[in-house]
Structure 1
């Protein structure tokens, strides 16, 4: 997917980032539980809860995550942002896309559910390795 461009910069960018990470369907709802900005990138821990816990546990496990007791899980959303010529834009993805940016803070990584998804595992490892590099 490409970038979404607004003709203005939102007054509350954190609020807009949280709105982008919030949603509900017949089967589940998602919402942010923590977010951190590093430069022009937002890292968000997003909780997904299922209306039927059994369905949720199965869905989550099939995608490589370890579900919580209630079938929920927490994943990372990565949102690139840009401000140029009075326009604000974003590009959103989750950790299973294997984002190229990998400076998620420890506080976000600590909230994520365990996963075996290869792109998410690699992305988390790159984030941890970047913490060890001198600034």
Structure 2
């Protein structure tokens, strides 16, 4: 399915992208004497960029399989064109590129044998594991792939500068500071630091 866009005044009274999509994916319809539908069990739409939901198939009021719905989201309440909200929906069976689904949603999904869905779930779990890694101020890290920065510098080793939750990075040789986008989702290792002990003479 392609993108569907609309004015925020046409969102059925829903104030956020998450609320609107929750309502869209929770429904029931009668066909041939059977009531079929979906029920959103849990959802998340961080920063109004990507919507993730665990949706349960409902048949005659009985819950069946639970699968993931993923929507790319466009949210611009100040749009002068009137296209304040838009979304493009898909489910996990197509193997979405977006793979930052929260753990509490993944944990609700029932087993599947669909190859693309299994790959997507594995990528989401791997991203969660990366983001949970511990890193401290002063750690020396090495990226799996070197990065090229706007000043022309190319590097793969940096010293971590941590101030609360904020991370920045300093080149060990030049001492210049750099920002690395989506750092916790990248492949990197912490390098051991050789500690020099003071020699005490009697």
Note whether the superposition's TM-score is higher than 0.5: yes
- TM-score when scaled to structure 2? 0.54
Question: 1:44-55 counterparts in 2 under 5 A?
Answer: 44-51=53-60
Match of 1:133, SS state, is helix
Question: Which deviates further from its counterpart, 3-12 or 92-101?
Answer: 3-12
Which residue of structure 1 lines up, in the alignment, with residue 95 of structure 2? Answer: 98
Aligned-CA RMSD value: 2.0
Q: Which protein has the bigger strand share?
A: 2
Tell me the equivalent position of 2:71. 79
Q: Does 1:20 align with 2:52?
A: no
1:130 maps to 127
> Which structure has the greater CA radius of gyration?
2
Indicate which of 31, 38, 44 corresponds to 1:30. 38
| TM-score, normalization by structure 1 | 0.78
**What corresponds to 2:5 in structure 1?**
5
Native 8 Å contact 1:38 1:103 kept in 2: no
How many matched pairs? 118
Q: Which residue of 2 aligns with 1:89?
A: 86
Greater RCO structure (CA 8 Å; 6+ sep) = 1
For 2:60 and 2:113, locate their aligned partners in 1 and report how far apart those are by CA, in whole Å: 24
1:8, distance to aligned residue in structure 2 (A): 2.4
Separation in structure 2 between the aligned mates of residue 19 and residue 131 of structure 1, nearest angstrom: 27
Give 5+ residue unaligned stretches, structure 1.
53-69
Q: Helix, strand or coil: the match of 2:128?
A: helix
